[in-house]
Amino acid sequence: MRISTLLYTIKQGLKNIFRNKVFSLATVATIAACVFLFSLFYSVIVNFQNMVMKAQAGVAVTVFFDEGISDERIQEIGDLIKQRVEVSNIEFISAEEAWDSFKEEYLGEYVDTFGDDNPLEDCASYEIYLNDVSMQDSLVKYLETVDGISKVNQSAMAATMLSSMNSLIAYVSLAIILILFLVSVFLISNTVAMGITVRREEIAIMKLIGATDFVVRAPFVIEGLILGLFGAALPLIAVYFVYNRVIGYMRERFEALASLLQFLTVQEVFVTLVPVALIMGAGIGLIGSYFTVRKNLRV
pLDDT greater than 80 at residue 138: yes
Model pLDDT for residues 24-54, shown as the tens digit of each residue = 787 788 788 878 888 888 888 888 777 777 7
Q: Does residue 21 sit in helix, strand or coil? A: helix
Instruction: Give the mean pLDDT of 158-176.
Output: 70
Same-domain check for residues 27 and 41: yes
**pLDDT for 69:** 81
On whether residue 141 sits in a domain, the answer given is yes
| Contact in structure between 266 and 167 (CB atoms under 8 Å) | no
Buried b (16+ CB within 10 A) or exposed e, 13-37: beebbeebeebbeebbebbbbbbbb
Distances, alpha carbon 170 to alpha carbons 45, 54, 201, in Å: 9, 18, 48
Query: Which range is most confident: 1-10, 61-70, 75-84, 96-105?
Result: 75-84
Task: Determine which of 107-111, 138-142, 162-166 has the lowest per-residue pLDDT on average.
Answer: 107-111
**Looking at the predicted structure, is the pLDDT value of residue 114 above 60?**
no
Regarding whether 240 and 134 lie in a shared domain, the answer is no
Looking at the fold, whether 180 and 275 belong to one and the same domain comes out as yes
CA distance 95 to 98: 5
Average pLDDT over residues 8-16: 75
Residue 176 pLDDT greater than 70, yes or no: yes
Residues 207 and 94 grouped into a single domain: no
Sheet containing strand 87-93, strands side by side: 87-93, 125-130, 60-65, 149-153
Provide the pLDDT confidence category of residue 10 given band limits of 50, 70 and 90: confident
Question: Do 222 and 13 touch, CB atoms closer than 8 A?
Answer: yes
Lowest-pLDDT choice from 180-184, 283-287, 295-299: 295-299
Residues 177 and 46 in one domain: yes
Q: What pLDDT score was predicted for residue 68?
A: 78
| Structural domain containing residue 197 | 3-55+173-296
Give the CATH number, domain containing residue 128: 3.30.70.3040
167 in a structural domain: no
253 in any annotated domain:
yes
What band does 117 get if pLDDT is binned at 50, 70 and 90?
A: low
Give the number of residues written for the chain.
299
Band (pLDDT 50/70/90 cuts) for residue 132 is confident
Task: Compute the average pLDDT of residues 205-225.
Answer: 75
Domain-embedded: residue 160: no
Same domain, 108 and 247: no
Contact present, 221 and 6 (Cβ < 8 Å): no
Tell me, yes or no, whether 208 and 278 share the same domain. yes
Domain shared by 15 and 40, yes or no: yes
258-281 pLDDT per residue, tens: 555 678 888 888 888 899 888 888
104 and 129, same domain (yes or no): yes
Give the closest residue to 247 by CA, choosing from 50, 3, 30: 50
Q: What is the pLDDT of residues 232-257, one digit of tens each?
A: 888 898 888 888 888 877 777 766 55
Residue 85 lies in a domain: yes
Backbone angles phi, psi at 90, to 5 degrees: -140, 135
Looking at the structure, do residues 260 and 199 belong to the same domain, yes or no? yes
* Residue 211 pLDDT exceeds 80: no
Residue 32 belongs to some domain of the structure: yes
Cα→Cα distances 171→45, 103, 133, 150, 160, Å: 12, 45, 18, 40, 17
Does residue 219 lie in a domain region?
A: yes
% of residues, the chain, pLDDT over 70:
70
Domains in the chain, number: 2
Please name the helix (run of DSSP H) or strand (run of DSSP E) that holds residue 129, with its range, or none: strand 125-130
Q: Tell me whether residue 168 is in a domain.
A: no
Q: 203 with 256, same domain?
A: yes
Q: Which residues, at least 6 apart from 151, have a Cβ–Cβ distance to it below 8 Å?
A: 63, 64
Q: Are residues 119 and 245 in the same domain?
A: no
Dihedral sign computed on CA atoms, order 101, 102, 108, 113: negative
